[in-house]
Structure formats: structure tokens, C-alpha cells
Amino acid sequence: MAAVEGLFTLDADEPHLVGGRARSRGSYFFPKALAGSDPACLGDEIDEVLLSRTGRLWSFTTGEYAPPAPYVIPGEEFEPYVIAAVRLEEENLVVLGQVVSGVSVDELSVGMEMELAIDVLYSDDEHDYLVWKWAPAGRRENGEA
């Protein structure tokens, strides 16, 4: 199940982030619930849209130390992870996400093509809690999804 409902689709082959688009202005937002900040959208209808599932790497970093709650450490021990910020070209929107496991920062460079994947964020006895992650284009098989 999704770790938080309504932010992305669970289609394992072609997952999408679910965003908002101002009907007459054309600005995009992610998440839709945080639509705002464009003064021309005041009073505009915000439609729910599926955002592009590929984009160009805008920047990237690592998380070498365990973050505080509400981050849930998956597994027994904290493992460092990679975070990417990816620019969706049609939407001109930069979106954060973890990078699928098995990809190191040495393999990343700004401008490279990335695609959306669905992966396990953490698990408990009943469920796997899923989230979107970024993968270098064609490298989704490294994820656990």
C-alpha cells in the first residue's frame, strides 16, 4: 500500500506522480494539495493530473545519517541512501525522491535522464509501504519493486 495515499499511482510498470494543474493558467503543482504560490491561479480550478514519469537530474546527494521520525528506518540497521531532484521537462517542475537502491552517486550526473519507480519505503508485519523513487533511465530493475 502507498505510504501516503494520493501522491502517486501504484502501476508497477508505468507509475506516475499525481499533481495539480491550474486549468486556465497551466501551472503545475506537486502535491496537488499544496497548489498555491502562483498568484494568477487564485480562483482557478486545479485539476488532478498525472505528471511526466521521466525527467532530467537537477541535483543529487546522499543521506549518510539516519533522519529523525517521521522517517521510518527500513530493516534492522540504517543504510545510507541517495536522493535525487529531477526536473520534469514538460511541467518545468523539480521533484525530490530517493534513488532506487543499488545506484551510487558516482553513477549520477546533472542532466542525465531519470524515470519514476515504485519501491518499498518500509514494511511492517502486515504491509509493504510503497513510495515513488527515481532511477536512472532503464535502471529500475535495481529497485525492489
Partner 1 sequence: MDDIAILGVGMHPWGKWGRNFVEYGVKAARDALTDAEVGWDEVQFVSGANSVRCGYPGYVSGSTFANALGFTGCQLSSSYAACASGATALSIARAQILAGVCDVALVVGAETTPKGFFAPNAGERHEDPDWLRFHLVGATNPTYFALYARRRMELYGDTPEDFAAVKVKNSRHGVFNPNARYTKEYDVDDIANSPMVADPLRLLEICATSDGGAALVVSSLEWAASRGVTDPVRVSGISTVSPTYPNSVIELPYLASDSWAAVGDETMTFKDNIAGRAYEEASVSPEDLDFAEVYDLSSAYELDWYEHIGLCERGDAAKLLRAGDTALGGRIPVNPSGGLGAFGEAVPAQAIAQVCELVWQLRGEAGHRQVEGAKVGLSINHGMFGHGSSVICTI
Task: At 20, list the grid cell.
Answer: 495539480
Between CA 36 and CA 53 the distance in angstroms is 22
Among 15, 53, 55, 97, binds partner 1 (CB under 8 A): 97
Between CA 98 and CA 118 the distance in angstroms is 10
Between CA 103 and CA 64 the distance in angstroms is 14
Verify binding: residue 59, partner 1, rule CB under 8 A: yes
Among 11, 12, 23, 67, binds partner 1 (CB under 8 A): 67
Taking Cα atoms as reference points, which of 71, 130, 81, 78 lies closest to residue 103? 81
Verify binding: residue 60, partner 1, rule CB under 8 A: yes
Verify binding: residue 34, partner 1, rule CB under 8 A: yes
Binding site for partner 1 (CB under 8 A): 3-7, 22, 25-31, 33-34, 37-40, 58-65, 67-72, 81, 83, 85, 90-98, 105, 109-111, 121, 131
